[in-house]
Amino acid sequence: MKTIDLLDAPLTDAFARRIDYLRISVTDKCNLRCIYCMPAEGLAWIERDELLSFEEIERLVGIFASVGVRKLRISGGEPLVRRDLPRLVRMLAAVDGIEEIALSTNGILLEERLPELMDAGLTRVNVSLDTLREDRFEALARRPGLGNVLAAIDASVRAGARPVKINCVAMRGRNDDEIEAFARYARERDVAVRFIELMPVRENLGIAADAYISAEEILERLSAIDALVPVAGPPGNGPARYFGFADGVGTIGVISPLSHDYCERCNRVRLTADGRLRLCLFGENHLDLKGALRAGESDERIRERISASMLVKPERHHLRVGEAASQMRAFSEIGG
């Protein structure tokens, strides 16, 4: 691919935060219906011609790379329901300046497709998993498939897609009795299990207030198993604080968007499946990049738009327990 010279001024927001990480949603569709994330009947899906094409995504990634973005994460919805995803990974891996391509997935379809994805240039994997029990998996996700997910995690470790990160949304009365089991899972395997505080989004306000567990409570419960030692944790772009047991193989992290927000370290923006650049996961500010592409704007003009948008990237979100966030499916996005 044609090399684009890096600008003298890399992408930086009004609070002097360097933006070097782009999350790319390739679809809004998902093959699960997790209770904290999506209604059982699904949502009104984006029309196919409104989705960014692979070629449009590739062009935008080239523009972002020209202002210093080096790390990509492909997400959804569930990204593996987008047809021919390895072709996109290969296209993005060839963009000059891109150093890392990660995938966030629920793992249902991952094991079979992992070899082709790795061959195309995928570097690491995040898997969402909220329970280690088959009956509970189906209750939380409204679909079966725990065996597929566990097999995909093992396959990812064997394939070298490390660090393999497992994101678990902790919910009182629904899966918090498995916190210790997840800790043992990480203690015995080369994975990073990260517990995410339940965030209030529109479809889960009925459970969010009662089910919320703080990161500090989770750590207190884990410390009752054995002494937790703060560790650097696996490399990556996420907001987790990491800990480990002295004899542990893997690590344990907590992600606390409510009790200890990490906005001061934000280094990311998000590209939606229909081509909007979201400046904050929970904010309304966005930039219509698909419209600019399809109107025939030049790379230089789009680059100028992206740089200017950094002036309105908010300093932080203002989530509170019991208050609705404007963005659906936030949990697939929060764990870097």
CATH number of the domain enclosing 290: 3.20.20.70
Q: How confident is the model at residue 239 (pLDDT cuts 50, 70, 90)?
A: confident
Q: Is residue 12 assigned to a domain?
A: no
- Give the C-alpha separation, 217 to 275, whole Å: 39
Q: Output phi, psi for 277, to 5 deg.
A: -90, 110
Q: For residue 304, what are the contacts with CB-CB under 8 A and spacing of at least 6? A: none
Q: Is residue 16 assigned to a domain?
A: no
264 or 226: whose pLDDT is higher? Answer: 226
Residue 44 has pLDDT above 70, yes or no: yes
296 within 8 A of 315, measured Cβ to Cβ: no
User: What is the DSSP pairing of strand 21-25 with strand 241-244?
Assistant: unpaired
- 18: three-class secondary structure by DSSP: strand
Residue 4 has pLDDT above 50, yes or no: no
* Structure confidence at residue 205 (pLDDT): 46
Residue 158 has pLDDT above 70, yes or no: yes
- 328: three-class secondary structure by DSSP: coil
User: What is the DSSP pairing of strand 251-255 with strand 192-197?
Assistant: parallel
Distance of CA 245 to the CA centre of its chain: 26
Query: Model's pTM, two decimal places?
Result: 0.87
Q: What is the mean pLDDT of the chain?
A: 86
Q: Is residue 2 assigned to a domain?
A: no
Residue 204 has pLDDT above 50, yes or no: no
For the chain, what's the residue count? 336
Residue 328 has pLDDT above 50, yes or no: no
> What six digits make up the tokens of 146?
């725990």
Mean pLDDT over 126-142 rounds to 95
Q: Is residue 3 assigned to a domain?
A: no
Quickly tell me which residue has 């029990």 as its tokens. 133
- 168: three-class secondary structure by DSSP: strand
Q: Is residue 6 assigned to a domain?
A: no
Q: How confident is the model at residue 95 (pLDDT cuts 50, 70, 90)?
A: very high
* Structure confidence at residue 200 (pLDDT): 60
Q: Is residue 120 assigned to a domain?
A: yes
CA dihedral 149, 152, 158, 159 (to 10 degrees): -150
Furthest CA-CA distance within the chain? 60
Residue 6 has pLDDT above 90, yes or no: no
Q: Is residue 328 assigned to a domain?
A: yes
> What six digits make up the tokens of 82?
């987008």
Q: Is residue 318 assigned to a domain?
A: yes
* Structure confidence at residue 322 (pLDDT): 44
Single out the residue of 216, 220, 230 nearest to residue 260, CA to CA: 216
Q: How many domains does the chain have?
A: 1
Query: What is the residue range of 312's domain?
Result: 21-334
> What six digits make up the tokens of 191?
């994975």
Q: For the chain, give me the number of helices (H) and strands (E)?
A: 11, 12
* Structure confidence at residue 273 (pLDDT): 96
Single out the residue of 309, 289, 313 nearest to residue 299, CA to CA: 289
195 within 8 A of 240, measured Cβ to Cβ: no
Residue 314 has pLDDT above 90, yes or no: no
- Give the C-alpha separation, 189 to 249, whole Å: 6
* Structure confidence at residue 127 (pLDDT): 97
* Structure confidence at residue 323 (pLDDT): 46
